[in-house]
Amino acid sequence: MAFLMKYEIIPRYLTGPSQRRPKLPLARCRFMVAHDTGNPSSTAAANVAYYERTRNDMASSAHLFVDDQQIIECIPLLTGAAEKAYHVIYNVTSDNARYGTDANDTAGAVELCYGGSINLTESYKRYVWVFAYACYRYGLNPLTDITGHYILDPARRSDPQTPLRLLGKSFANFVQDVADELKACTIVTPPKPQVLISPEDANKLISFLSAIYYAAEDEESRTEVNRLANELRRISGQPEE
Protein backbone atom coordinates (compact mmCIF):
# COMPACT_ATOMS: atom_id res chain seq x y z
CA MET A 1 0.00 0.00 0.00
CA ALA A 2 1.12 3.52 -0.69
CA PHE A 3 -0.38 6.98 -0.35
CA LEU A 4 -0.70 9.56 -3.11
CA MET A 5 1.48 12.53 -2.11
CA LYS A 6 -0.57 15.21 -3.88
CA TYR A 7 1.03 18.02 -1.91
CA GLU A 8 4.38 18.73 -0.34
CA ILE A 9 4.66 18.92 3.44
CA ILE A 10 7.37 21.42 4.30
CA PRO A 11 9.24 20.66 7.53
CA ARG A 12 10.05 23.92 9.31
CA TYR A 13 10.55 22.81 12.89
CA LEU A 14 10.47 25.27 15.74
CA THR A 15 13.72 25.58 17.67
CA GLY A 16 13.68 23.27 20.66
CA PRO A 17 13.63 22.38 23.38
CA SER A 18 11.47 25.44 23.92
CA GLN A 19 8.08 26.07 25.51
CA ARG A 20 6.23 25.52 22.26
CA ARG A 21 8.40 22.57 21.19
CA PRO A 22 9.59 20.64 24.24
CA LYS A 23 10.86 17.83 21.97
CA LEU A 24 9.00 15.13 23.90
CA PRO A 25 8.15 12.02 21.87
CA LEU A 26 4.48 11.33 21.05
CA ALA A 27 4.15 7.73 22.19
CA ARG A 28 1.56 6.81 19.59
CA CYS A 29 -0.72 9.00 17.48
CA ARG A 30 -4.15 7.72 18.56
CA PHE A 31 -6.36 10.48 17.08
CA MET A 32 -6.32 13.80 15.25
CA VAL A 33 -7.67 17.20 16.33
CA ALA A 34 -8.96 19.74 13.80
CA HIS A 35 -8.23 23.38 14.60
CA ASP A 36 -8.29 26.73 12.85
CA THR A 37 -6.00 29.65 13.58
CA GLY A 38 -8.87 31.92 14.62
CA ASN A 39 -6.84 34.68 13.00
CA PRO A 40 -8.32 35.39 9.56
CA SER A 41 -5.89 36.21 6.74
CA SER A 42 -2.75 34.97 8.53
CA THR A 43 -0.89 32.43 6.39
CA ALA A 44 0.75 29.14 7.37
CA ALA A 45 4.21 30.69 7.01
CA ALA A 46 3.22 33.74 9.10
CA ASN A 47 1.81 31.55 11.88
CA VAL A 48 4.91 29.36 12.00
CA ALA A 49 7.19 32.44 12.00
CA TYR A 50 5.16 33.86 14.89
CA TYR A 51 5.44 30.57 16.82
CA GLU A 52 9.19 30.55 16.26
CA ARG A 53 9.58 34.14 17.51
CA THR A 54 7.45 33.43 20.58
CA ARG A 55 8.66 29.86 21.19
CA ASN A 56 9.66 30.63 24.76
CA ASP A 57 6.75 32.94 25.61
CA MET A 58 4.01 30.31 25.75
CA ALA A 59 3.48 26.58 25.34
CA SER A 60 0.49 26.38 23.00
CA SER A 61 1.29 24.94 19.58
CA ALA A 62 0.19 22.59 16.79
CA HIS A 63 1.93 20.19 14.43
CA LEU A 64 0.85 21.59 11.07
CA PHE A 65 -0.47 24.81 9.52
CA VAL A 66 -2.28 24.65 6.19
CA ASP A 67 -3.21 27.48 3.82
CA ASP A 68 -4.02 27.63 0.10
CA GLN A 69 -0.33 27.54 -0.89
CA GLN A 70 1.59 25.58 1.71
CA ILE A 71 1.47 22.84 4.30
CA ILE A 72 4.08 23.56 6.96
CA GLU A 73 4.96 21.17 9.76
CA CYS A 74 6.47 23.02 12.73
CA ILE A 75 6.42 20.11 15.19
CA PRO A 76 7.24 16.68 13.72
CA LEU A 77 4.26 14.40 13.07
CA LEU A 78 4.32 13.40 9.39
CA THR A 79 7.83 14.38 8.29
CA GLY A 80 9.82 13.13 11.30
CA ALA A 81 9.57 11.14 14.53
CA ALA A 82 6.36 12.40 16.15
CA GLU A 83 6.63 14.82 19.08
CA LYS A 84 4.09 16.31 21.46
CA ALA A 85 2.38 19.62 20.74
CA TYR A 86 0.27 21.42 23.35
CA HIS A 87 -2.98 22.21 21.53
CA VAL A 88 -5.81 21.27 23.92
CA ILE A 89 -5.68 22.25 27.60
CA TYR A 90 -5.04 19.28 29.90
CA ASN A 91 -7.98 19.80 32.26
CA VAL A 92 -10.74 19.08 29.74
CA THR A 93 -12.02 15.52 30.12
CA SER A 94 -13.76 14.85 26.80
CA ASP A 95 -10.54 13.57 25.19
CA ASN A 96 -10.02 11.18 28.12
CA ALA A 97 -13.64 10.02 27.95
CA ARG A 98 -13.51 9.44 24.21
CA TYR A 99 -9.96 8.17 23.64
CA GLY A 100 -8.69 7.30 27.12
CA THR A 101 -5.84 9.81 26.87
CA ASP A 102 -5.05 13.53 26.79
CA ALA A 103 -4.92 15.04 23.30
CA ASN A 104 -1.53 16.62 23.99
CA ASP A 105 0.00 13.22 24.70
CA THR A 106 -1.50 11.18 21.85
CA ALA A 107 -3.03 13.39 19.15
CA GLY A 108 -1.87 15.27 16.08
CA ALA A 109 -3.02 18.89 15.62
CA VAL A 110 -3.66 20.61 12.29
CA GLU A 111 -4.53 24.31 11.95
CA LEU A 112 -6.55 25.62 9.00
CA CYS A 113 -5.66 29.11 7.74
CA TYR A 114 -8.47 31.13 6.14
CA GLY A 115 -9.73 34.63 5.52
CA GLY A 116 -8.34 37.67 3.71
CA SER A 117 -6.67 36.73 0.46
CA ILE A 118 -6.43 33.03 1.40
CA ASN A 119 -8.50 30.88 -0.99
CA LEU A 120 -10.45 28.79 1.51
CA THR A 121 -11.45 26.12 -1.03
CA GLU A 122 -7.77 25.47 -1.77
CA SER A 123 -6.82 25.56 1.94
CA TYR A 124 -9.59 23.11 2.70
CA LYS A 125 -8.43 20.65 0.01
CA ARG A 126 -4.97 20.56 1.58
CA TYR A 127 -6.40 20.36 5.11
CA VAL A 128 -8.55 17.34 4.18
CA TRP A 129 -5.57 15.69 2.47
CA VAL A 130 -3.31 16.19 5.53
CA PHE A 131 -5.90 14.52 7.77
CA ALA A 132 -6.26 11.66 5.27
CA TYR A 133 -2.47 11.21 5.17
CA ALA A 134 -2.25 11.23 8.99
CA CYS A 135 -4.97 8.55 9.12
CA TYR A 136 -3.03 6.50 6.57
CA ARG A 137 0.26 6.91 8.45
CA TYR A 138 -1.15 6.03 11.86
CA GLY A 139 -3.86 3.53 10.88
CA LEU A 140 -6.70 5.76 12.09
CA ASN A 141 -10.35 5.63 11.09
CA PRO A 142 -11.44 9.13 10.01
CA LEU A 143 -15.03 8.49 11.12
CA THR A 144 -14.04 7.81 14.76
CA ASP A 145 -10.52 9.15 15.19
CA ILE A 146 -10.87 12.79 14.15
CA THR A 147 -12.32 15.32 16.53
CA GLY A 148 -12.57 19.11 16.66
CA HIS A 149 -11.13 21.48 19.25
CA TYR A 150 -14.68 22.79 19.87
CA ILE A 151 -15.83 19.23 20.65
CA LEU A 152 -13.06 18.71 23.24
CA ASP A 153 -13.28 22.17 24.81
CA PRO A 154 -16.74 23.58 24.05
CA ALA A 155 -16.63 26.15 26.85
CA ARG A 156 -13.64 27.96 25.39
CA ARG A 157 -13.24 27.03 21.74
CA SER A 158 -15.23 27.04 18.52
CA ASP A 159 -12.58 25.95 16.01
CA PRO A 160 -12.70 24.82 13.24
CA GLN A 161 -16.39 25.68 12.87
CA THR A 162 -15.97 29.20 11.43
CA PRO A 163 -14.13 28.20 8.23
CA LEU A 164 -16.31 25.09 7.87
CA ARG A 165 -19.40 27.30 8.02
CA LEU A 166 -17.90 29.59 5.39
CA LEU A 167 -17.62 26.50 3.17
CA GLY A 168 -21.20 25.44 3.99
CA LYS A 169 -19.92 22.29 5.69
CA SER A 170 -20.67 20.60 8.99
CA PHE A 171 -18.01 18.78 11.01
CA ALA A 172 -19.59 15.49 9.86
CA ASN A 173 -19.18 16.63 6.23
CA PHE A 174 -15.50 17.35 6.92
CA VAL A 175 -14.90 13.92 8.45
CA GLN A 176 -16.62 12.28 5.46
CA ASP A 177 -14.45 14.34 3.07
CA VAL A 178 -11.37 12.97 4.87
CA ALA A 179 -12.71 9.40 4.62
CA ASP A 180 -13.30 9.88 0.87
CA GLU A 181 -9.82 11.38 0.40
CA LEU A 182 -8.20 8.52 2.32
CA LYS A 183 -9.91 6.05 0.01
CA ALA A 184 -9.00 8.00 -3.14
CA CYS A 185 -5.32 8.43 -2.18
CA THR A 186 -4.63 4.93 -0.89
CA ILE A 187 -2.95 2.94 -3.64
CA VAL A 188 -3.32 -0.80 -3.21
CA THR A 189 -0.71 -2.79 -5.12
CA PRO A 190 -1.62 -6.45 -5.68
CA PRO A 191 0.92 -8.81 -4.08
CA LYS A 192 3.35 -10.42 -6.50
CA PRO A 193 2.76 -14.17 -6.92
CA GLN A 194 5.28 -16.15 -4.94
CA VAL A 195 7.63 -18.08 -7.22
CA LEU A 196 8.43 -21.43 -5.58
CA ILE A 197 10.08 -23.16 -8.54
CA SER A 198 11.96 -21.74 -11.52
CA PRO A 199 9.97 -21.51 -14.79
CA GLU A 200 12.68 -23.66 -16.45
CA ASP A 201 12.21 -26.54 -13.98
CA ALA A 202 8.43 -26.17 -14.11
CA ASN A 203 8.46 -26.36 -17.91
CA LYS A 204 10.63 -29.53 -17.81
CA LEU A 205 8.05 -31.16 -15.53
CA ILE A 206 5.24 -29.86 -17.75
CA SER A 207 6.89 -31.51 -20.79
CA PHE A 208 6.83 -34.86 -18.93
CA LEU A 209 3.18 -34.24 -18.07
CA SER A 210 2.35 -33.48 -21.71
CA ALA A 211 3.60 -36.95 -22.68
CA ILE A 212 1.14 -38.37 -20.15
CA TYR A 213 -1.57 -36.01 -21.46
CA TYR A 214 -1.29 -37.34 -25.01
CA ALA A 215 -1.07 -40.96 -23.85
CA ALA A 216 -4.17 -40.59 -21.65
CA GLU A 217 -7.19 -42.54 -22.86
CA ASP A 218 -10.00 -40.59 -21.19
CA GLU A 219 -11.01 -36.95 -20.81
CA GLU A 220 -10.92 -37.11 -17.00
CA SER A 221 -7.22 -38.02 -16.96
CA ARG A 222 -6.40 -35.27 -19.45
CA THR A 223 -8.26 -32.72 -17.30
CA GLU A 224 -6.30 -33.83 -14.25
CA VAL A 225 -2.95 -33.62 -16.07
CA ASN A 226 -3.87 -30.16 -17.31
CA ARG A 227 -4.71 -29.10 -13.75
CA LEU A 228 -1.32 -30.35 -12.49
CA ALA A 229 0.48 -28.50 -15.30
CA ASN A 230 -1.33 -25.30 -14.35
CA GLU A 231 -0.32 -25.78 -10.71
CA LEU A 232 3.30 -25.91 -11.87
CA ARG A 233 2.75 -22.78 -13.96
CA ARG A 234 1.17 -21.02 -10.97
CA ILE A 235 4.03 -21.74 -8.54
CA SER A 236 6.60 -20.72 -11.17
CA GLY A 237 4.84 -17.41 -11.85
CA GLN A 238 3.60 -18.31 -15.34
CA PRO A 239 0.11 -17.78 -16.80
CA GLU A 240 -2.28 -20.72 -16.87
CA GLU A 241 -3.04 -22.47 -20.15
Chain residues binding Zn ion by CB under 5 A are 35, 149, 159
Nearer to Zn ion, 33 or 128 (CB): 33
AA letter at 110:
V
* Min separation Cβ 61 and Zn ion, Å: 11
Contact 170, 164 (CB under 8 A): yes
Q: How far apart are CA 108 and CA 101, in angstroms?
A: 13
* Min separation Cβ 25 and Zn ion, Å: 22
Nearer to Zn ion, 112 or 202 (CB): 112
* Min separation Cβ 76 and Zn ion, Å: 19
- Beta-strand ranges (E) seen in 135-200 are 146-148, 186-187
* Min separation Cβ 176 and Zn ion, Å: 21
Nearer to Zn ion, 35 or 55 (CB): 35
Nearer to Zn ion, 35 or 63 (CB): 35
Phi-psi region of 5 (alpha: psi -120 to 50; beta: other; left: phi over 0): beta
Q: How far apart are CA 43 and CA 232, in angstroms?
A: 61
How many Cβ atoms sit within 10 Å of the Cβ of residue 69? 15
